[in-house]
Structure 1
Amino acid sequence: MALTKPNQELRRDLKESAFSLEEAALDLFRMAKQRGDTELLEAMETIERLHEQADRLTAYAEEVKVGRIVRGKVE
């Protein structure tokens, strides 16, 4: 089943958001790593949350792809 244009846009937006979160987590990891072990350990919780959110958005994008999530008309 082909996706409608609004659903294609939704899927693309979800995937782009997930990618941005992954990039932010990677940047945070690099910065914390340069500062030292203590800062890295403190940042790891935040990095983990960013990865979890990115994974959730990627899963939503897959649900859009298979038709479980559909963008409706704006009223």
Structure 2
Amino acid sequence: MPLTKPNQALRRELQGTASDLKWSAVELMRIAERLSLAGNETDAQAVLRICQVMQDGEDRLEALAEEVRGGGLGRIDTSH
């Protein structure tokens, strides 16, 4: 069964936000590496923990997007 327009939009939003989290985590990993190289291991480890939280969020959003695709989760179409 094809997705309704609201569910297509929801899936795109979830995937887009997951992608944003992924990009942000990659950038933070680069910052953590620079912090570590500068001898600031405490802050580097803190940033890496933030990255892990972001990656976990990315995984949850991707799973929700798949639920939308499978029809198990969605938005109510109130356009009629």
- Report SS of the residue matched to 2:73: coil
Corresponding position: 1:48 with 2:64: no
- Report SS of the residue matched to 1:41: helix
Aligned length: 75
1:1-75 matches, within 5 Å, as 1-36=1-36, 38=41, 39-74=43-78
Using structure 1 for the length normalisation, give the TM-score. 0.91
2:28 maps to a residue whose letter is: L
Q: Deviations over 1:32-65 (max 9, x none)?
A: 1012160322211111000000100000000000
- Report SS of the residue matched to 1:7: helix
Listed as ranges, the gaps of 5+ residues in structure 1 are none
User: Larger radius of gyration, structure 1 or 2?
Assistant: 2
Counterparts of 1:41 and 1:35 in 2: how far apart (Å)?
9
Percent identity for Structure 1 against Structure 2 = 36
CA RMSD of aligned residues (A): 1.5
